[in-house]
A and B are shown apart, each in its own frame.
Chain A
Amino acid sequence: MVEILCTPIGTVSSPYKEKEDAPRQGCLANDISIITLGEAYVPAATSLKAGDDIFVLCWFDRADRSVLLAQNRLEKPPRGVFSLRSPSRPNPISLTLVRLMEIEGNTLTVRGLEALDGTPVLDIKPYYDGIDEPQKEGVPVMPKK
């Protein structure tokens, strides 16, 4: 299949300098990060405002793309990467739901992003309550073996 090229729209500045510093998921730590957009993309952020919940899609540039089986930190047997939320996967796109704390020009201050400092940002999308949250019955955190 044909490869796809994407140019990041911005970069994350975060308190996490090494993988060991980062939480497993952003919502588990709730620290503040800054997304700096390329100037050309500032008009695309129109209508975003402080208090919005948004999805940030990043490119986990330090992830291992050769991995298909990985171990969750909490459990022993390896699982397929498509049944995990670990960063190592063929296309290391991360998706994190964050709270937009402030937006000023090309700078977005967000809470709850687990990306390492310097991570490229690919896209931002709004969270839609009623679209992005399916019914909760039968949604396990992890399947039991």
Chain B
Amino acid sequence: MEPVTFSPVGVVHSPHKELAGMPVQPPAAAGFTGEIELLPEYAEGLLDIEGFSHLMVFYHLHKSAGPLLSATPFLDTKPHGVFASRIPRRPNPLGFSVVRLLSREGCVLKIGNVDILDGTPVLDVKPYVAEFDAYPDAASGWFSGKLGGISEKRSDDRFL
């Protein structure tokens, strides 16, 4: 298939400077704050974003070591296909996180619950809208019951 080209619109600034030891998903990142700094030419796209409490940030997993088709995720002990997991090493290294929006100043969004590596290129920002993005009765497949202890869970070096 024809490749598609992304042009980053900004960058994440975060306290996570190394891949190992990071919170593995936003619920494990409570208390970690950071920023999305948009390139000035995209600042107009932020008009009215302040009214949202949460955002979906889409980014390039730029330090991903190359694609896998299956692996054992941080939150499990047996392998799964990468489309059934949030493993960063995937055919297209695209990540997304639901973060808290704390404030906006010009091109800079201050965010909370940050589980993103410092320097990560930002591809898109969307407002989190519970009516679209959440299923109260969602089925979480193999992941059901694996959330225990997630707030303390940190990445290791298995995908490096």
A interface vs B, CB < 8 Å? 1-9, 11, 25, 27, 38, 41, 43-49, 51-55, 57, 59, 61, 68-69, 78-85, 89-91, 93, 95, 97, 120, 122-134, 136, 138-145
Interface centre among B11, B26, B96 (most CB of A within 10 A): B96
Residue pair B128, A139 in contact (C-beta under 8 Å): yes
CB < 8 Å: which of B4, B52, B53, B133 contacts A61?
B4
**Which label, helix, strand, loop or mixed, suits the secondary structure of the A interface?**
loop
Instruction: Name the A residues within 8 Å of B58 (CB-CB).
Output: 91, 93, 95
27 example contacts (A-B, Cβ-Cβ < 8 A) are as follows A3-B8, A5-B3, A5-B5, A5-B6, A41-B69, A41-B83, A44-B69, A44-B90, A45-B81, A46-B70, A47-B80, A48-B81, A49-B141, A82-B49, A83-B46, A83-B52, A91-B58, A95-B56, A95-B133, A120-B4, A124-B83, A125-B85, A126-B85, A130-B147, A131-B98, A141-B131, A143-B50
- Cβ-Cβ contact count across A and B, 8 Å cutoff: 236
B44 within 8 A of A: yes
